[in-house]
Amino acid sequence: MKILFLNGSPRKNGYTVSLMKCIEKGIDSSHSIAWIHSYDLNMTPCRACLQCRPNKECVSPKDDGHYVWHKIRSADAIVIGSPTYFGNISGPLKILIDRNLTAFEEIAASGLEMPSPLHKGKKAIIVTACNAPYPMSQLQSQSKGAIQAMEVAIKAGGYNIIGSITLDGAASKDGVPLKIEEQARILGMKLSL
């Protein structure tokens, strides 16, 4: 199985990536794992030209967005994560998602039919870290909003979200608590099944 990690954090050693690495530890070693760090990508934002709809792939000049499109299309499972920024995901992850609409769903050229999910039944996990402490972190303006933003793309693709994990009060923590590490590892094991 090919498992794709889509990281929306600028910090490769921050809490979002740390949680994602805990998930990775739970994944059986027989599976192939690839990481995409959205902050490392050279990718222009979506121009809303709608040409990806009949053509299936973005018509913008070739950049890392096209590379990501192929990675998403070929992955058997996705782990997507972002820190919480004003109740939403990071800008680079949002650009990645916007540019890869047709990697998640097929849209008829006429645009009159409902989009069809391209990954029906594949598994996904959603990860976020939030500086707000619990229960404030569960507000729409905090981690709940970031989780919902990622869910929109994942659900459009037809993925079965097997779980989400949030590290609340990240600014006051000194590392990922063992209980959260274990929850993340268990999610990785479930992804492997």
Could you report the per-residue pLDDT of 32-63, keeping only the tens digit for each?
999 999 999 999 999 999 888 877 889 999 99
- Which domain does 127 fall in, by range? 2-192
* H-run or E-run covering 187: helix 178-192
pLDDT beneath 50: ranges in the chain = none
Averaged pLDDT of the chain: 94
Residue 136 corresponds to which tokens in the numbers above?
Answer: 């404030």
Q: What is the percent of the chain with per-residue pLDDT over 70, rounded to a whole number?
A: 99
Q: What is the pLDDT of residue 111?
A: 66
The CATH number for 159's domain is: 3.40.50.360
Cα separation of 19 and 179, whole Å? 11
Q: How many domains does the chain have?
A: 1
Partner residues linked to 164 by β-bridges: 126
Say if residues 99 and 157 touch (Cβ distance below 8 Å): no
pTM: 0.95
